[in-house]
Structure 1
Amino acid sequence: MTTSAHPLPSGSPLSSLGWALADTWTITRRDLSHWALRPGEVALGWFFPVMIALMFGGLFGGAINVPGGGGYFEFLMPGMFAMTVLFGLETTMMAVTTDASRGVTDRFRSMPMSSLAVVSGRCVADMLNSVVGLSVMVVTGLLLGWRWHGGLASALAAFGLLLLLRFALLWVGIFAGLAVRGPESVTAVQILVWPVGFLSSVFVDPASMPGWLGAIAEWNPLSVTATATRELFAAPGFGGESWIAQNAIPMAIAWPALLIAVFLPLSVRRYGNLGK
C-alpha cells in the first residue's frame, strides 16, 4: 500500500498535539498488550543480560585484574547496564520490521491518526520495557555485591545517561526495522550488535588491548556510557589517559544526541516513504 495517513482534524497546534499524544498512547497500549500475551518471551529479554553477567563474572572474573583494584562485579555491572540497553535494540528492530512486513504499519498509515504515532508509540513502549530490564539488572548487581559509592544524585545521573543511550538506540532500531525487507533480514543486522558490545570497555579495560583496538573500543558509544557511569558510581575502572576517557560524561551526552539527530528524522522520513 502507498496510502499515507489521513490528516488530523484541523485546529490549533495545541489541539493537534493533543491528537498526536492520544494516538501515541493508543499505539503504546497496543504494544504493551502484545507483551502481556507473551510474558515468557518478554521475561527472557529481561533476564538474558543477567545470564551474561553471571557467566562472565563467574567464569572470567577471577582472571581479570580490575583497574584500580576492587571486585570484578563492581567493574562489570556498570558496563552490563550499558550492554542491557544495547540488547534492547534487537527487540525494537524485530517488532518494527514484523509490523511492516505484515502490513500492520500500512494499515496504521491509512487511518486518521498522527503520522508520528506509530514510531513514537513504539518508542514509549520500548522505553518502559527498558526501565524494567534495567531495574532487573540493578537488583542483580546488588545481589552480586555491586554498590554505587558516589551518592544518590550521581547514581541518578548515571541511570539518566543509560536511559539517554537507550532512547538514542531506539531510533537506530526503528530506522533499521523500517529499512530492512523482512524479519528474516533482521538476523544480519543483529550480528552487528555483538561486535559493538564486545569491542568496548564493558568486560575489560581497553588499555589491555592493542593500541589501535583499544582506541576503537574507547570511542565506542557503549564504552563512553560505561566509563561515564563507572565514574558517577565511583566504581573501579573509570578514568584513563586518553581524551575520550577524561571526557566520558560529556561524551555520554554527545554520542546519544548525535544518534538521535541522525536517526530520528531518518526514521520519520522512512516511515513516510513506506510502500513507495
Structure 2
Amino acid sequence: MSAIPRTAEATSAPQGRGGLAQSVTDSLTIAQRNLIRMVRIPEVLIFGLVQPIMFVVLFSYVFGGSIRIPGAGTSAQQYREFLMAGIFAQTVTFATAGASAGIAEDMHKGLVDRFRSLPMARGAVLTGRTIADLVQTALTLIVLAAVALIVGWRAHDGIWRALAGFGLLLLLGYAFTWIGALIGLSVRTPEAATSGGLIWLFPLTFISVAFVPSENMPAFLRHIAEWNPFSATVVACRDLFGNFPPHYRLPDAWPMQHPVLASVIWSLVIIAVFRVLSVRKYRSATV
C-alpha cells in the first residue's frame, strides 16, 4: 500500500519554496548562468553589434543629406541627430530574436526540463533569461552610443535627461524580450525562433517614425506609425536627448504628443501581457 505514494513522490518534480524572495533568487541564478555563457561566447555580443553599427554608418552617410526632415531640410547633421533615437530603439527591439533563439535552444537541448526538476520558482527560468538579455542590451547600447558620438550625434539636454532616454530604451527592450520568450517557447528549433523573432520586427520598426517623419506616409500607414509603441519610445528619446530639429512639429496623435508617458505605458502593458502568456506557455510546453 505504501509503494504507490513513494512512487508518486519519486516521480514528481520537486517544488520550490515559493514567495517573492525565492522567485528573485532563482531568477538571478538563471541570469548569472546566462551571463557566464555570454562571457564565454563573446562572438554573440560582437556579432550583435555589427548590424546596428552598419545601420548607423549607412543611414548617416548614405541616406543623410537625401531625406528631408521638417524644420531641418536635408541637413546631414540634423538627420543624424534625428536618426539615432531610431537606431537605438531598433537595436534594443532586435534583441528579441536573441531571446527567442536562446530559449528555443534551451528547450531543444532539454535544459528547461532539467530546470523544471529543481525546486525553483516556475517563472524564474524565463525571468532570468530576460534579465541576462537586458544586461547584454545595455552593453550593446553603450558601444552604440560611443559610435553615435563619433559620427556626430549629441544629447543636448543634459546627462539626466539622456539617462532617462536610455532607461526608456532598456524598458522597451526588456518588454520585447518577453515577446521573444513566447516565440522561443512556441517553435521547435532555434533556427525557427531566430526567423520568427525577426520577421515581424522589420515592419514594426520601419512603419514608424524612426527613420523618416510620418507626414509623407499614406493615411493608414501614418496612423499605424503614430500609434506604434516603437514610435512612442523613439519620439520620447528624441525629446529627452534634445534631438528634434528647430521648428519640428509633432503629429497630433496622443502618443506623439505625450511620448514619454506613452512609451512607459506601452512597455509595461507588453511586459504584463507577454510575461503571463510566456509563463503559461512554459508550463504547458515542457510538461
Query: Deviations along 1:57-103, whole A, 9 cap, x unmatched?
Result: 11111101223216211011111111111110100000011111221
2:117 — aligned with what?
Answer: 110
Counterpart AA for 2:252:
S
Say if 1:239 and 1:246, in contact at 8 Å, map to a contact too. Answer: no
Distance 2:197 2:37 in 1: 24
TM-superposed CA distance for 1:182, in Å, is 2.1
- 1:165-176, aligned counterparts within 5 Å? 165-176=172-183
1:133 — aligned with what?
Answer: 140
**4+ residue segments displaced more than 4 Å:** none
1:233 — aligned with what?
Answer: 241
TM-score of the pair, normalised by structure 1:
0.91
Name which one, 1 or 2, has greater alpha-carbon Rg: 2
SS in structure 1 at match of 2:64: helix
Kindly indicate whether residue 246 of structure 2 is the aligned counterpart of residue 223 of structure 1.
Answer: no
TM-score of the pair, normalised by structure 2:
0.88
SS in structure 2 at match of 1:273: helix
Distance 2:186 2:223 in 1: 30
In structure 2, runs of 5+ residues without a counterpart are 1-10
Kindly indicate whether residue 260 of structure 2 is the aligned counterpart of residue 253 of structure 1.
Answer: no
Counterpart AA for 1:214:
R
- 1:148-227, aligned counterparts within 5 Å? 148-186=155-193, 187-227=195-235
Distance 2:104 2:270 in 1: 20
Distance 1:5 1:113 in 2: 10
1:30 — aligned with what?
Answer: 33
Say if 1:23 and 1:114, in contact at 8 Å, map to a contact too. Answer: yes
- 1:99 and 1:4, CA in 2 relative to 1: closer, same or farther beyond 3 A? farther
TM-superposed CA distance for 1:39, in Å, is 1.2
Percent identity over paired residues: 39
- 1:50-61, aligned counterparts within 5 Å? 50-61=53-64
Query: Deviations along 1:138-192, whole A, 9 cap, x unmatched?
Result: 1111111111112222212211111111111111111111122222322144211
Counterpart AA for 2:228:
N
Counterpart AA for 1:92:
A
RMSD, aligned α-carbons: 1.8
Say if 1:4 and 1:272, in contact at 8 Å, map to a contact too. Answer: no
TM-superposed CA distance for 1:5, in Å, is 4.8
| Match among 99, 103, 125 for residue 96 of structure 1 | 103
2:5 — aligned with what?
Answer: none
In structure 1, runs of 5+ residues without a counterpart are none
Provide the aligned length of Structure 1 versus Structure 2.
269
SS in structure 2 at match of 1:207: coil
Distance 2:208 2:123 in 1: 34
Counterpart AA for 2:201:
V
